[in-house]
Structure 1
Amino acid sequence: MELTAQYRRMLGALLPRGPAWDSEDLLLTGLAPSLAEVHGRGDALMLETDPHSVTELIDRYENISGLP
């Protein structure tokens, strides 16, 4: 299942039960892609912790290592 859809379902599940709350609210549908993007960026950051797979933080690793 797509990550955005998973976040959409999770947000709907967090709402209180009752007629005042609609789990199909467009606000939740709008928030889900942002949360999925943050999740994806977190996954990408985990790859950056290994110097063998670093791409975005290469400048920092070079500075720390004293490389030009």
Structure 2
Amino acid sequence: MVEFLFEDLLQSMFFNRHSQNLHAHGYRDEGEKAASFVQKMDDMINKHNQYIRDNGKDMLKITEWRWKDVR
């Protein structure tokens, strides 16, 4: 099981500084949902990296991606 240290990440980014006027609220994930998400992201990155190694360029969905107007 993957252990996530989001609290440590937030603390290192915000709380170990001179200004401490930030309050983080949330819950501690038991690992199942977060681990599943991270595994999917790792699989996707590995797929993309393999495509680049095999073809020498990014996938079309990467090179042709554009920001869409949110209005």
TM-score using structure 1 length: 0.39
TM-score using structure 2 length: 0.38
The structure richer in helix per residue is 1
